[in-house]
Amino acid sequence: MQDKEKLNLNRLEANSKRKNIIYRWILYFILGIFVFYYLTPLYVMIVTSFKTMPEIRQGNLFSLPESIKFDAWKQAWDGAGFTGGDVVLKPYFWNSIKLVVPAVILSTLLGAINGYALTKWRFKGDSYIFLLFLFGTFIPYQAILLPMARTLGVLGMSNSISGLILVHVVYGVCFTTLFCRNYYVSISDEMVRAARIDGAGFFKIFFKIILPISIPILVVTVIWQFTQVWNDFLFGATFSFGEAAPIQVALNNLVLTSTAVKRYNVDMAAAIITGVPTLIVYILAGNYFIKGLTAGSVKG
Amino acid sequence: MFWLKKNLPKLVLVPSLGILSWFVYGFIFWTIYISFTKSKMLPRYEIWGIDQYIRLWNMPRWHVAVENLLIFTVLFIILCIAIGILLSILLDQKIRAEGFLRTIYLYPMALSFIVTGTAWKWVLNPTLGIEKFVNDMGFETFKFDWLVTPEMSIYTIVIAGVWQSSGFIMAIFLAGLRSVDDEIIKAAKIDGAGIFSIYSKIILPMMRPVFMSAIVILVHLSIKSYDLIIALTSGGPGISSDMPAVFMTAMAFHRSEVGLASASAIMMFLTVSAIVVPYLYSELKRENAR
Amino acid sequence: MKMKKLIVALIALALTPSVSFAAPKAEVLHWWTGGGEAKALKVLQDEFAAQNGVWLDMPVSGGGGDAAMQTLKARIVANDAPAAAQIKGPTIQEYDEEGVVAPYNIDAVAKKEGWDNLLSKQVASHMKCDDGKAYCAAPVNIHRIDWIWANKKVLDSNGIKMPSTWAEFNAAADKLQANGIIPLAHGSQPWQDATVFEAVALGVGGNDFYRKAFVDLDAATLGGSTMTKVFDQMRKLKGYTDAGSPGRDWNVATGMVMEGKAAFQIMGDWAKGEFAANNMAPGKDYICAPTPSNNGYLYNVDSFIFYKVKGKDKVEGQKLLASLMMGKNFQKVFNIYKGSIPARLDVSMDEFDMCAKKSNADLKTAGSKGGLLPSFAHGMALRLAQKGAIQDVVTEHFNSNMSSSDAAKKLAAAVKASL
């Protein structure tokens, strides 16, 4: 009897192992197809950035460059080889950093506290208050440019980094609150209730209990906010000064020349350079997508 | 002191709400007001009546834009969520190189669409990109000219839009999946549930709040779509791929029709609210009933 | 004693209001951020700095000025207008109507330097506000829109001469098509469609027709039978373009001509820059000729408007800027870099290339024969609302199967609705 059982078990194991391997291959195949979809434009961009203009004009979109030269990249960054007057990226990089860091920190913090207050300290009408936040995400930004300009003008902030930070925090808070609130709502209230019984206050619970388990959603929130603020062109172009403009304005100026000769290789290189900080944020933040961060700790 | 402690949660929300009441709701009312004026190049404040709305609905271009918004938003939401969930579940399977793959799916959002749009424009152009590539390989009858066909151009915008945003939807679902208690899954496995039914019957239903976030974000991105259209089709061929944000910007800033633009903004806002708010409301009611 | 005197003197100096010395300051909004245009603008920047001016650059490019318009309007609404902005055509007068241009700070400079004698009457009238009484903008160039650019080799090997009538153009195009060459390189974006349209309207309808339709906005002309003929020719031209033309950028289309894949392109004189960047010379590698018309000339004048600003240094900046913009040397060097011709009448054309010289000569001829007309596609003839309405109909017709008579009717209706 025991032998037959063992045989059956072995066969089952072997079968499931085979099944597993097939599943795995299918898995990687599907993932691979999507990789293709996502990478095609990037491939075109990278390949174009290494070609010379005549090569681009004559050649095939997907063909490899004749030689790997970084000329276009150098031109995009600080203008090596230019005759002057053209826009380059380097001076504006720092402007964006000065803008992004406070904006992301402020809006994320506010979002977390708002989400926490709305879910762990229920009061009458808190769902309606949440709806009020959500409405803010449906406003088309083009529609608020003029009244925003008026407001910033009155506040004396119409041409400054602080004005931009205000704008980004205002519209960011709607999203950060959305993310954090929807995350906290799924987290059991047990811990918070226990802590309140023990006498802990609002902020103590926030910093000691809530924040540590918020890592996944904070990561998502930071990814979103960083991207929105770093990639923003509309607000940056409208509410900031020529030299204090954020990098996306500079990128636009570099790429979208109206009646001048277009240099596609420099454009592609410039876009990739501009996207690097965001990519770094994604890579670093990705380390926090670790499973099991909340398992166990939620049960308390 | 006790009053302060008791009301602290509500007080904490006040700064954000205060900002919102001016910068969101104040501006919405401003826009509503302006939509009733004759504002041309700059805002004017004498009430004119509802003529802007009448003019708006008499413009064929506006009709195209609204239709496109609906087509685009529906496809955009369905595809982004479907792909996002699929990829997040696949990545949740303890893959080698998960970090690497995750970054590949996420990076499109990091790059300015002004430039990636140009790359897509080349790739989708029948004489330069995919159609030419496949034709050169010998398949002479292959056609992929959606980009230059008025009836199909909006679908190319869907392709590029999904490319740009689905990675982020994958990320928020992944975060959601990762926050599910392991014990629940272990218990289900012991009960003999297969992977497929674990996901569909247990985990995904727990993701309702994540669905809500995803839909809100996707609706927001769809409304905001400006760069996507300008870079890919310039609203063309002709006016076939026009969308409300493009229409609004063109009217307000390039045609000196600020009043008309405000009317279009309000129409869009109302349309979106009418569809999304009932959904949100019912979700919230559901949560409260727990 | 000496020490005390010194201290008193220093205090007196410190207390002297520093307003008496105001370095001219100018915040300039523009979108010339690359290539020849940026180089050209830098000339102005350098000249300004040489006169102790402080230039605050405000470049916002995108869509041929679209993004800049957003920024500009926001700044005006915030009561913080820049000193100068790259505005052209009737938009100048539109801003004047909103009351943000008076008190016309540069008019004094214009009167002193005698701009009325340095500019043609037509150009000068575009630069004036307050019903033509005061100068409020300064012109930096004149662009010609109605050019055909052709690949010489392709023409020669197919035995074709540059067409002087639209019938000749169609015949040449048919021949080229039969030989497997794309006759017309085109990028079907709304503004490009409008550019070709107005050149065709000028040629097919004639100078008076153009004026009646696109300057006077006469409803009968807009919806009439001649307009239908214009749309007919547009339909024919569509047949001469290739399948990939929708959405194509204008310079990619120029590239097709340069590579010999296509024979002709209808585009303004800035196309010269692409040929030059590819080391091609006019007359040898490529040919420039006006589109077929009867001494017609569609012009576009780039200019800078000077808004109402607060502060003596800003007003001084505006005056200096205006004066430099009309300077002889600037007009020459700027236009050599940019590919256009000077607005100022007395600048020598010796250093300009063959196409520019032709442009200048044609300008004078057209002027005397009543063919000098403002381009509406490039914002000189009409207010933006009307231009946009016309553009919508033109691009819709070009990219669909709309009949020409329907298009003409739609055109008249759209213009009426936009007024």
pLDDT along chain C (419 residues), means of 10: 63 52 84 80 91 89 79 86 91 90 89 90 90 92 94 92 93 93 92 94 94 93 93 95 87 90 93 86 93 93 92 91 92 89 90 92 89 92 91 92 92 90
Is residue C300 within a helix (H) or strand (E), and if so which, with residue range?
strand C297-300
Radius of gyration of chain C (CA): 24
Q: CB count, 10 Å around CB of B190?
A: 8
The DSSP annotation for B234-269 comes to TT-STTTT--HHHHHHIIIIISS-HHHHHHHHHHHH
In a domain, B72, yes or no: yes
Amino acid (one-letter) located at A281: V
Q: Would you call the peptide bond into B237 cis, given omega within 30 degrees of 0 as the criterion?
A: yes
Whether B208 contacts chain C with CB within 8 A: no
Is residue C405 within a helix (H) or strand (E), and if so which, with residue range?
helix C404-418
Query: Chains meeting B at 3+ CB pairs closer than 8 A?
Result: A, C
Burial C359-384 (b: 16+ CB within 10 A, else e): bbebbeebbeeebbbbbbbbbbbbbb
Instruction: Name the nearest CA neighbour of C148 among C49, C59, C269.
Output: C269
Tell me if B267 sits within 8 A of B46, measured CB to CB.
no
Q: How many residues does chain C have?
A: 419
Distance CA A14, CA A24 (A): 15
Q: CB count, 10 Å around CB of B1?
A: 5
For residue C142, report the phi and psi dihedrals to the nearest 5 degrees. -130, 120
CA angle at A289 for the pair A288 and A290, rounded to the nearest 5°? 90
pLDDT, residue A291, reads 44
**Contacts A257 to C, Cβ<8 Å:** 32-35, 37-38, 61
Q: Would you call the peptide bond into C103 cis, given omega within 30 degrees of 0 as the criterion?
A: yes
Beta strand C25-30 pairing with C84-85: parallel
**Would you call A41 and B120 a contact, using CB atoms and an 8 Å cutoff?**
yes
pLDDT, residue C86, reads 92
Minimum CA–CA partner of C66 in chain A? A258
Tokens of A236: 């940056």
Question: Quick check: A290 pLDDT over 60?
Answer: no
pLDDT, residue C279, reads 87
pLDDT, residue A86, reads 64
Q: When comparing pLDDT for A81 and B116, which is higher?
A: B116
Collapsing DSSP to helix, strand or coil, C48 comes out as helix
pLDDT, residue C21, reads 57
**Contacts A85 to C, Cβ<8 Å:** 38-42, 45
Does C357 belong to an annotated binding site? no
pLDDT, residue C199, reads 95
Q: State how far residue C281 is from chain A, nearest Cα, in angstroms.
A: 16
Q: When comparing pLDDT for A68 and C84, which is higher?
A: C84
Distance CA A289, CA A229 (A): 22
**Maximum Cα–Cα distance across chain C:** 100
Q: What is the CATH number for B90?
A: 1.10.3720.10
Please report which residue ranges of chain B form alpha helices under DSSP H. 2-20, 27-35, 51-57, 60-91, 98-106, 113-124, 130-136, 153-178, 182-190, 195-197, 208-224, 227-232, 244-249, 258-289
Minimum CA–CA partner of C417 in chain B? B55
In a domain, B48, yes or no: no
Please report which residue ranges of chain A form alpha helices under DSSP H. 2-49, 53-58, 71-78, 90-120, 126-135, 141-155, 161-184, 190-197, 202-205, 211-213, 215-231, 234-239, 247-255, 264-286
pLDDT, residue A200, reads 83
Distance CA B228, CA B1 (A): 53
pLDDT, residue B81, reads 94
Tell me if C325 sits within 8 A of C138, measured CB to CB.
yes
Distance CA B232, CA C210 (A): 33
Q: Which residues pair with C25 in a beta bridge?
A: C54
Tell me if C378 sits within 8 A of A258, measured CB to CB.
no
Which domain does B124 fall in, by range? 60-289
In a domain, B18, yes or no: no
Collapsing DSSP to helix, strand or coil, C384 comes out as helix
Tell me if C44 sits within 8 A of C6, measured CB to CB.
no
Does C47 belong to an annotated binding site? no
Q: How many residues does chain B have?
A: 290
CA angle at B116 for the pair B110 and B119, rounded to the nearest 5°? 155
CATH superfamily label, C144-299+360-418: Periplasmic binding protein-like II (3.40.190.10)
The pTM of this model reads 0.83
Whether A258 contacts chain C with CB within 8 A: yes
pLDDT, residue C298, reads 95
In a domain, B35, yes or no: no
Instruction: Name the nearest CA neighbour of C241 among C267, C210, C262.
Output: C262
CA angle at B160 for the pair B154 and B164, rounded to the nearest 5°? 140
**Would you call A252 and B163 a contact, using CB atoms and an 8 Å cutoff?**
no
Q: Is the ipTM of this complex over 0.95?
A: no
User: Residue B184 — pLDDT band, cuts 50, 70, 90?
Assistant: confident
pLDDT, residue A297, reads 34
For residue B42, report the phi and psi dihedrals to the nearest 5 degrees. -130, 160
Distance CA B154, CA B237 (A): 10
Distance CA A289, CA A299 (A): 20
**How far from the centroid of its chain's Cα atoms is residue A296's Cα?**
29
**What confidence tens digit (pLDDT) does each residue in B135-168 have?**
888 888 788 888 888 888 899 999 999 999 998 8
What's the whole-number mean pLDDT along residues B103-116? 84
DSSP state of A262: P
Question: Quick check: A293 pLDDT over 50?
Answer: no
In a domain, B71, yes or no: yes
pLDDT, residue C20, reads 46
Please state the domain extents for chain C.
Answer: 25-140+302-350, 144-299+360-418
Minimum CA–CA partner of A76 in chain C? C34
Question: Residues of B numbered 26-45 whose beta carbons fall under 8 angstroms of chain A's beta carbons: which are they?
Answer: 26-28, 30-31, 43
Whether B40 contacts chain C with CB within 8 A: yes
Beta strand C286-290 pairing with C372-374: unpaired
Q: Which CATH architecture has domain C25-140+302-350?
A: 3-Layer(aba) Sandwich (3.40)
User: Residue A292 — pLDDT band, cuts 50, 70, 90?
Assistant: very low
Amino acid (one-letter) located at C71: T
Query: Chains meeting A at 3+ CB pairs closer than 8 A?
Result: B, C
| Interacting residues of B29 by C-beta distance below 8 A, sequence separation 6+ | none
Minimum CA–CA partner of C261 in chain B? B127
Question: Quick check: B275 pLDDT over 50?
Answer: yes
pLDDT, residue C375, reads 95
In a domain, B43, yes or no: no
Tokens of A284: 């670093």
Question: Quick check: A95 pLDDT over 80?
Answer: yes
Burial B122-157 (b: 16+ CB within 10 A, else e): bbbbbbbbbbbbebeeeeeeeebbbbbbbeebbebb
Tell me if B105 sits within 8 A of A34, measured CB to CB.
yes
Tokens of C124: 């000068």
Q: State how far residue C35 is from chain A, nearest Cα, in angstroms.
A: 5
Of residues A158, A242, A252, nearest to C61 (C-beta):
A252
| Interacting residues of C104 by C-beta distance below 8 A, sequence separation 6+ | C129, C130, C134, C135, C136, C306
Query: Chains meeting C at 3+ CB pairs closer than 8 A?
Result: A, B
CA angle at B224 for the pair B221 and B230, rounded to the nearest 5°? 110
Inter-CA distances, A279 with A36, A41, A272, C367, Å = 19, 16, 10, 57
Does C97 belong to an annotated binding site? no
| Interacting residues of A48 by C-beta distance below 8 A, sequence separation 6+ | A56, A264, A265, A268, B119
Q: State how far residue A224 is from chain B, nearest Cα, in angstroms.
A: 8
For residue B246, report the phi and psi dihedrals to the nearest 5 degrees. -65, -45
CA angle at B179 for the pair B176 and B180, rounded to the nearest 5°? 95
Distance CA C59, CA A255 (A): 12
What is the Cβ-side half-sphere exposure of residue B205, based on CA atoms within 13 angstroms?
6
Does C32 belong to an annotated binding site? yes
| N-term to C-term CA, chain B | 33
Of residues B238, B255, B256, nearest to C399 (C-beta):
B238
Q: How many domains does chain B have?
A: 1
Is residue C205 within a helix (H) or strand (E), and if so which, with residue range?
helix C190-205
Inter-CA distances, B84 with B116, B172, B210, Å = 20, 9, 11
Distance CA B71, CA B65 (A): 10
**What confidence tens digit (pLDDT) does each residue in A181-226 have?**
988 888 878 888 888 888 888 888 888 888 888 888 888 889 889 9
User: Using CA atoms in the order C57, C62, C66, C72, what is the torsion angle rounded to 10 degrees?
Assistant: -20
The DSSP annotation for B155-192 comes to HHHHHHHHHHHHHHHHHHHHHHHHTS-HHHHHHHHHTT
**How far from the centroid of its chain's Cα atoms is residue C151's Cα?**
24
